[in-house]
Every structure is written in structure tokens, then in C-alpha cells.
Amino acid sequence: MLLAIFRLLARIPLPALQAVGKAMGLLVYAWPGRYRRRLQGNARQAGYVDPAFARRAAAQTGAMILETPKVWLRTTQCLRKTHSDDDAVVHTALAEGRGILYLTPHLGCFEITARYLIQHGPITVMYRPPRQAAFEPIMEQARNMSGLRAVPANLQGVREFVRALRRGEAVGMLPDQVPGGGEGVWAPFFDKYAYTMTLAGKLAVQTGVAVILTAGERLPNGQGWKIHYLRLPEPLPRQPEELATIINGAMETLIRRFPEQYLWSYNRYKVPDEAPPRP
């Protein structure tokens, strides 16, 4: 049933999908509760104190949710609406032949980004199984496309990442997911300590690959998406705390290009069980 609903949504024109999604996002935001408080608090932490900014961010979250079925099930159609002005960043990294670690934060349409990057070569991405079993058929179909390989977010998936990077291929992951206790370090994120994963930094140091942050900006009026890149300067530090701080700082830079499209409602500052105390 869910797959049928997603297929139906995917047939709706993108401008209409995003418009309805924005209206739904505003409706959810209007209801007082934890979602609204967290969105407002995280945005204020980054310096976005205008109430109108929070409303626009909520609308963009709704657009992101409702456009996802189309990106998953009508990928070719969506890619025709996707472009980048700085693909040279990727071309330069590919010419070095070292492999690429793409870091895609919860910014814009992060589902379109990996699909766009396939044009530069095969890419392996990490995924977490959906909490609701009913979503598994949808996720399976979404992951089933040439050039895109999905591996589980566990030790086996990490090994597959290392193998792909050593073959000179690309891998992609979300760098702003809060890791479990013992799997991260405390690093500043918009001037507040956030528990930050060390896996991305360890992969980069261990394999010596290029690290590029990337995100898909949602263009107005259903025009599509624009892919942004930001490459980390080298050499990278080997200390986990220092490297996590650099990655968080690069994420801040990328987010500030189109801040209303960041997922401010995500619980970025939570303290996982067994994590050391916040500094």
C-alpha cells in the first residue's frame, strides 16, 4: 500500500509536490511542541533568530519530505532538473585517482545528491534499515539503480567503504548524524559542542582520499536542484577532535549558503548513552 502511495506521489509534478509539502511543513510547525521548539532553538544557536526564518525552514522540510518519492522513483526525470556550476571540484579530485569521500549533511535534497554523483563514477553509500518494516520495499526500490550501491551502517558496511576507496571509487555518508556513545567526539557546531562522528575522519586518514562536502540546493518554483561542493583542505589532521572540528566548520560554511534548507529540527545536540560528558 505504501509503495502504491509513493508511486502515486511520484507522478505529481514537482512544483505541486513541493508546494503541498511546504504547506504541510507550515501546518506541522504551527502546532506547539518539541518539534517547533527544537527547530527554533537550533536555528537561534546558528544566529537565525527571525521567526520568519524558522517558518521558512519548516516549509522547506515539508518540501524535502514530499519530493522524496519522486526522487526515489522518478530519478531520471529529476536528474534532468539537476545541475552544478562547480563540477570541476570533483573532476580535479578524480584526476588524482585517490578515491573520494563525499559528506552530505541534512541540507537541501540529500537524496538527489548521490544520484547526481553517479555520473562521475560508481558510489557506495551507507543506509540504516527503516524502523518500520512497511518502508523496506520502498527503500529497496529506491536503492536499486545502476552505479549506486548501498551498504548497511555496521562494521561490514565500513569494510565495504574501505574496499571501495582503495579501488579509487567514491563513497558517501551523512556527517551530521549523532553517533552512538563511544563512536564520536565533542566538537563545536555553530558555537555549541555537538557529539560528532569520527568515522568520516578515520576513513579519510586511513585511505588518504579526497574529502568533499556536497549538498543539493532546492531551487524555487519546482525548477529542480543545484549541487554544491566544498573540498576540505589538505593535509588533514590526524587527531579525531581536530578533524571533527574541521568537518563541522565546513558543514557550517555549506549550510550558510542556503540555511533555510538545513534540517534544523534534527536533534543535533543530543547526548547519546555512554557518551562522555559535554565539555
Within a domain: 75: no
Sites in the chain below the pLDDT cut of 70: 129-130, 132-134, 137, 140-141, 143-144
**Interval 154-192: pLDDT, tens:** 889 899 999 999 999 999 999 999 998 889 999 999 999
Q: In whole numbers, what is the pLDDT of the chain averaged over residues?
A: 93
Residue among 277, 269, 271 nearest 44 (CA): 269
Residue 39, in any domain of the structure? no
Inside any domain, residue 213: yes
The C-alpha atoms of residue 171 and residue 158 are separated, in whole angstroms, by: 10
Residue 26 belongs to a domain = no
pTM of the model: 0.94
How much of the chain exceeds pLDDT 70, in percent?
Answer: 95
Q: Which residue range(s) make up the domain with 159?
A: 83-261
pLDDT value at residue 144: 64
| Predicted confidence (pLDDT) per residue in 179-227, tens digit | 988 899 999 999 999 999 999 999 999 999 999 999 999 999 999 999 9
Asked whether residue 195 is domain-assigned, the answer is: yes
CB neighbour list of residue 233: distance below 8 Å, 6 or more residues apart: none
Domain count, the chain: 1
Which of helix, strand or coil describes residue 108? strand
Residue type, 31: W
In a domain, 30, yes or no: no
Residue 272 and residue 179 in contact, taking contact as beta carbons nearer than 8 Å: yes
What CA–CA distance (Å, rounded) separates 170 from 120? Answer: 9
Omega before 235 within 30 of 0, i.e. cis: yes
Q: How, if at all, do strands 225-231 and 82-84 pair?
A: parallel
Q: Examine residue 54 and state whether it is found in any structural domain, yes or no.
A: no
